[in-house]
């Protein structure tokens, strides 16, 4: 097992732990708890 693979394994383990902690606290940076700044205008935006 190369040194690079060992480092990458540690990185994977770290991310799994972070994901576990985030899942336990039901944390997400994408929750909808703030009204977006663009909410003042409504209407089609593709044109």
Partner 1 sequence: MTLARAVTCPSCGGSIEVRAAGYTVTLACRYCGSVLDVAHEDVRLITAYKRANANFAIELSTRGTLFDVEWEAIGALRRRSPGAIWQEYLLFNPYAGYRWLVVADGEWQFGTMLLDRPDGAGASIEWRGETYTLDDDATVETTTVLGEFYWRVSRGDRVQCATFARGSDFLSREATADEVTWTQLVPLDRREVEDAFAVRQRYKPRAGLSANRHGFFQAPGTGDNDLPMMFLMALGALLVIAIIQYVMSGPRLCANNRFDVAVGAATTTHKIGTIDVTRPWQFVTIQADSNDFSNRWVDLDYSLVNRRTQQSIDAYGIVEFYTGTDSDGRWTEGSHHGETQFAGVPRGSYDVYVDTGSHGWPVDPPANATAPNNPWSVPEAISVWFNACTSGYSWGLFWIFAILLLGAPCLILWWRHRG
Site string for partner 1, 1-40 (x = CB under 8 A): -x-xx--xx-xxx-xx-xxx-xxxxxxxxxxxxxxx--x-
- The rounded distance, in Å, linking the Cα atoms of 7 and 29 is 27
Residue 7 beta carbon to partner 1: minimum distance, rounded to whole angstroms: 9
Closest approach of partner 1 to the CB of residue 6, in Å: 10
Pull the structure tokens for residue 39: 């909410």
- Scanning 1-47, the segments in alpha helix (DSSP H) are 3-24
3-state helix, strand, coil in the chain (%, to 5): 55, 0, 45
Q: Residues in the site for partner 1, rule: CB under 8 A?
A: 2, 4-5, 8-9, 11-13, 15-16, 18-20, 22-36, 39, 42-47
């Amino acid at each position: 097992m190369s040194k690079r693979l060992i480092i990458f394994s540690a990185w994977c383990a770290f991310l799994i732990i972070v994901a576990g902690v985030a899942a336990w606290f039901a944390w997400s940076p994408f929750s909808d708890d703030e009204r977006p700044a663009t909410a003042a205008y409504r209407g089609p935006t593709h044109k």
